[in-house]
Chains A and B, each alone.
Chain A
Amino acid sequence: MESNRRSFLKIGGICALGLGALPVTKALARKALPQVSDFPEALKANQWAMVVDMKKCWEQADRDCKDCILACHQYHNVPDIGTIKEEIKWLWQESYHDTFHDQATKFNIANIEHNPIMVLCNHCTSPPCVRVCPTKATFKDKKSGIVKMDYHRCIGCRFCMAGCPYGARSFNFRDPIPYIKTELNMAYPARERGVVEKCSFCTERLARGLFPACVEACRHGALTFGDITDADSPVRKLLAENYSIKRRPELGTGPNVYYII
């Protein structure tokens, strides 16, 4: 074929047109492919955090109130094995000395000594459990700051349990399903033998625009939930008005559960 400037420009022009059409066809083709996204009603935050106001919790007359624990454990199909060694817990009570043993002194105000403190996973800013997990089954979700568990990936090595300074993780030594004594929540899975489980800050509820089950269940408003990076959030407002403490801040894990005591 004889080549001259005219035919060269023609072919060049057609090629340029083709390249220009590429993004258009891509955009058209994408429409036909499945898309994934959040639910429109999902609650979003850079770092979810909780403020536990123990004063409000203690003030109420009924000391045996465990609404938050029951709501959480019922919602997430948490089993009740019945022994301390195999106990599975997402949200539970701990004594002041065990919760804040680095900050506790011999002489405390009477209120503190005999009252339980609500404890849960702190969803740390730099979580040690995530650092030690060999399979990345537990990971820090960049979108929400929640320390999540991927039970599909957990191999049950329990490094994370050794890494967590708060004891927030429980291991399923046996099949937990027969030990679920609350009514089964059919919308949430259970776990199997050989995986570690913990509080998830109710990721699945946040995705549906709902606050965590414990926050919703507390009749006394002792649990406040919000975005710690947002200065207008309810947690930040509470922290601005009250003196708060965190569990074992000296470890540098950056816990995101604050206590007003």
Chain B
Amino acid sequence: MKIYNAKLIIPGLLIFVVMVTFPIWYNKGSAAPPPEPSLNTPAIQRMAEKQCVLPKDQMRTDHMQLLNEWRTEVVRNGNRLYVAWDGKEYNMSLQNECMRCHSNKSEFCDTCHVYAGLKSGSQPYCWTCHIAPKENK
């Protein structure tokens, strides 16, 4: 088999492959370390059993759905008390309940949100209105 214009085609193909794979080998080894959200807050340390509203894995993947459901229940339906699967009671409030334990927004919320590259300054827009607790730094 003979390739016409092999002089041009083969270097061209090579350049094409190099350019297409450029992002892969250029970023190799420089991957950002996976985030480690910190649970080191006074409120969490005081807890005998360190348990969030839902089991940890579920919180990790579904906290946004939970927050959205809480929002709907509180704002639209006027319910504010949440009895969790383990019988514990929670006040359905981001500012007053979530942040009561997770008072370290920059080390807890932000670590993953920045890593995942969420839009608008790498933060979900919860914090345009809701007031995050003051952190002593």
Q: CB within 8 Å of B: which residues of A? A: 32-40, 42, 77, 139, 141, 143-144, 148, 150-152, 175, 184, 186-192, 203, 207
Contacts and interface: CB of A to CB of B under 8 A. Distances in A.
A37 B85 contact: no
A189 B95 CA distance: 8
B73 interface: yes
Given A189-B130, A190-B131, A141 B78 contact: yes
By size class, the interface of chain B is 20 to 34
Interface string B76-107: 11111111110000011001100000000000
Contacts of B71: 152
Contacts, number: 60
Most buried by A among B73, B96, B125: B96
Contacts of A203: 78
A39 B83 CA distance: 11
A150 B73 CA distance: 12
A115 to B, nearest CB: 36
Contacts of B77: 36
B79 A152 contact: no
B95 A35 contact: no
A141 B82 CA distance: 20
B83 to A, nearest CB: 4
Contacts of A189: 95, 129-131
